[in-house]
Amino acid sequence: MKIDVTEVRNTIKKMGDLPSLPMIVSSIVQLVKNPKTSAADITRVISTDPALTAKVLKLVNSAYYGFPREIKTLTSAIMILGFNDVKNLALSATVFEIFREDDEAVEFSRKKLWEHSVAVAVTARMLANIQKYREPEEVFIAGLLHDIGKLIIDHLWHDSFLAILKVINSGEKMMRSAEQEIMGVTHSEIGAVLCEHWNLPPALCKAVLHHHNPSLAPAEIFPITAFIHAADVFSRIRKIGSGGDDLIPRLEKEVWYFLRIKPENLDNLYLRIDEEVAKAESFLDIK
């Protein structure tokens, strides 16, 4: 069944059972945009959800952040990490719940997709920090969400999703090629529409859209898109989780030039990726 992006957008608007950002997370996203927002404002909103509060504090105290002492309150977490980091921790916990839902396609593992998404998020953030990019946590969230369109295809166009899986199981095509062939749109386009529906930052939505072809992205969001693109390739090389197909795409030459990674340094980079993913183990099972 062939569809286009306009039909995707209309379908997502009409569907009441789609994964949605909880009102509390939407409120946090809006608060962070307001320059008058205080730590107390964000604490007050998150505190209305005890489960979310516990998840955020668990992540703050994980090995991923490595603070020498326990952070016991949301206010302390916000003061130490900043508004954006806490917002992104809340988003991370929410996205995990979407991935944790029972697999709708037996042939497709959401658990492995989550592992892949966390690996991409962690690796992209590491690359952003190496490049001294100003918004490394936004890069992290874009990494978590880069493949979320695959879940939407499974949810809304399940028969097409099964047909896509049948094609990629032959091992000859990447998932996005099979999606284009069968549906006329890709998970990148669908994921970007969902991010827009959630009112996430435009740069993040465009990074999801262009993560397979960053050279087509607007210049102002090329860096974040390049980080996600490279992290996706490197995570596939390291075989961390699965994006649904196990083929390794070619890294765009523009991204090679931007990252300034020398071939002789790749082994060290892979070791750092493995270490960062190991530290992020807490993100693999947020309870």
- State mean pLDDT over 167-196: 91
Q: Which pLDDT does position 19 carry in this prediction?
A: 61
| pLDDT value, residue 188 | 96
Domains, the chain, ranges and CATH?
5-285 (1.10.3210.10)
pLDDT for 282: 67
Residue 93 has a pLDDT of 77
Q: What is the pLDDT of residue 162?
A: 92
pLDDT tier at 198, thresholds 50, 70, 90: confident
Whole-angstrom distance, CA of residue 28 vs CA of residue 214: 29
CA angle 204, 205, 209 (to 5 degrees): 115
Q: What is the pTM of this model?
A: 0.84
Q: Which tops the pLDDT comparison, 56 or 180?
A: 180
Contacts of 230 (CB under 8 A, 6+ apart): 123, 124, 127, 251, 255, 259
Average pLDDT (245-269) is 90
Q: What is the mean pLDDT of the chain?
A: 86
Amino acid at 173: K
The 10 Å Cβ neighbour count of residue 239 is: 11
Residue 43: pLDDT band with limits 50, 70, 90: confident
- Residue 254 pLDDT: 94
pLDDT at position 127 over 90: yes
Neighbours of 26 (CB within 10 A): 15
